[in-house]
Amino acid sequence: MPNKRLLVVEDEPDFRSYLQAVAEQLGFRVATVRGGREFMESYPAFRPEVVVLDLLMPDLDGIEIIRWLCGQDSAAKVLVCSGAGGVCMRAAKALAEVKGQMQVQLLAKPVLRAKLCAALLDGNA
């Protein structure tokens, strides 16, 4: 799986750095952004196979980003990594599955390294 592209959209700098470090150790090429608008600008040129997405961000929330990805006919696997709570996370997953062909996996913050590695290395990632 070397050189798979991962785009992280996370507004918390420490968690964003953690995600980047773990993914790079697994062989991913990683780009990180702080918010939804920056994500939308970076996505077309980077063309990630995997997206790690926070739901609660200051500019655009994760639901808006999922809707946007569906409109892009994205085939990227999406890891929703949030402290937003179960109902909100399940709603994001349902939206992605109904509106598009995305595979979505839910990871509640704080995310243990082992769970993050398993999600990133999943056969569909």
- State pLDDT tens for residues 10-47: 999 999 999 999 999 999 999 999 999 999 999 999 99
93-101 long-range Cβ contacts below 8 angstroms, 24+ apart? 95/63, 95/66, 95/67, 95/70, 96/66, 96/69, 96/70, 99/66, 99/67, 99/70, 100/69, 100/70, 100/73, 100/74, 101/73, 101/75
Residues 55 and 86 sit within 8 Å (Cβ to Cβ): no
pLDDT category of residue 98 using cuts at 50, 70 and 90 = low
Looking at residue 1, its pLDDT comes to 47
Q: What is the pLDDT of residue 74?
A: 85
Question: Which DSSP symbol is given to 49?
Answer: S
pLDDT at 125: 39
- In the chain, what are the domains? 5-121 (3.40.50.2300)
User: What pTM, to 2 d.p., does this model score?
Assistant: 0.86
Whole-number Å distance between alpha carbons of 62 and 80? 8
